[in-house]
């Protein structure tokens, strides 16, 4: 029951933040991730990201991921992100991103909260004639998850 409440709360917070930005360009993406979010062995999960472009080459937003190592340990991450595109493209190309937030380990009906921070790098490829869609492979390092490799696919609003 606690897992459902945390997930619903995080999704509502993310939705409110993204739609509060009425005159900015934004993006929403979803995809798989392989990571070390588990104390024992690797984990598979999904990632969700929302970002709003605040200036030429910069974006801010929220990221969320949920992972499971298939032996009873589930990890939830929610964080704020700050992204810089290199060499300063508006909303695509190479990027470097910092994530800061909370990390929750759910194991045997117990929730262990932790501080989360990380550094992510990747490339946002724009797709379609109107460049409305994107694919974004990335890698990340940080605490307490060690590493993650994933790809997001999404839409720019």
- Map out the domains of the chain with their CATH numbers: 2-72+82-156 (2.40.160.20)
pLDDT, tens digit, 9 for 90 and up, residues 37-78: 877 789 999 999 999 998 878 999 999 999 998 888 899 999
3-class secondary-structure state, position 131: coil
- Which one, of 35, 40, 60, 39, lies nearest residue 49 by Cα? 60
> Of the candidates 53, 64, 51, which has an alpha carbon nearest to the alpha carbon of residue 8?
64
| Tens-place pLDDT, residues 16-43 | 444 443 345 899 999 999 998 877 789 9
* pTM for this entry: 0.80
What is the pLDDT at residue 5?
53
């Amino acid at each position: 029951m606690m897992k459902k409440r945390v997930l619903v709360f995080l999704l509502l917070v993310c939705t409110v933040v993204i739609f509060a930005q009425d005159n900015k360009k934004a993006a929403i993406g979803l995809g798989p991730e392989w990571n070390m979010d588990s104390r024992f062995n690797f984990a598979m999960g999904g990632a969700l990201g929302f970002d709003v472009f605040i200036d030429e080459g910069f974006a801010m937003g929220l990221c969320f991921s949920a992972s499971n190592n298939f032996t009873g340990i589930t990890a939830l991450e929610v964080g704020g992100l700050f992204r810089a595109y290199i060499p300063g493209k508006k909303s695509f190309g190479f990027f470097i991103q910092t994530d800061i937030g909370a990390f929750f380990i759910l194991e045997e009906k117990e929730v262990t909260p932790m501080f989360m921070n990380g550094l992510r790098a990747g490339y946002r490829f724009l797709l379609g004639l109107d460049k409305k869609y994107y694919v974004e492979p990335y890698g990340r390092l940080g605490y307490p998850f060690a590493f993650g490799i994933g790809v997001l696919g999404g839409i720019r609003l």
